[in-house]
Amino acid sequence: MVRGLVATQLYIAKNKLPPAHLHAIFEAKDSKKARFDVPGYGLYLEHIAYPQGYMQDVNTLQ
């Protein structure tokens, strides 16, 4: 997914896609709409930050 986010943001930065395209990917919850045509080497997910109490809310759905 990091690869798709980076590639899509690069396309947006080069004005090849509108900024709303990234928002549409998140809204659709469909990573197939992202661009993946960048090399995968050197890309890694370093950190994820969830809002305070986020995981507690998810656990209450079970």
3-class SS letters over 1-62: CHHHHHHHHHHHHCCCCCCHHHHHHHHHCCHHHCCCCCCCCCCCCCCCCCCCCHHHHHHCCC
User: Is residue 11 included in any domain, yes or no?
Assistant: yes
Taking the model in full, what pTM does it have? 0.61
Is the pLDDT reported for residue 55 higher than 60?
Answer: yes
User: Is residue 57 included in any domain, yes or no?
Assistant: no
User: Is residue 32 included in any domain, yes or no?
Assistant: yes
Question: In b/e form, how buried is each residue of 18-34, taking b as 16+ CB within 10 angstroms?
Answer: eeebbeebeeeeeeeeb
- What pLDDT, on a 0 to 100 scale, did the predictor assign at position 14? 94
Are the beta carbons of 22 and 9 closer than 8 angstroms?
Answer: yes
User: Is residue 48 included in any domain, yes or no?
Assistant: no
Question: Mean pLDDT, the chain, as a whole number?
Answer: 83
**Number of domains within the chain:** 1
Is the pLDDT reported for residue 6 higher than 70?
Answer: yes
Is the pLDDT reported for residue 48 higher than 80?
Answer: yes
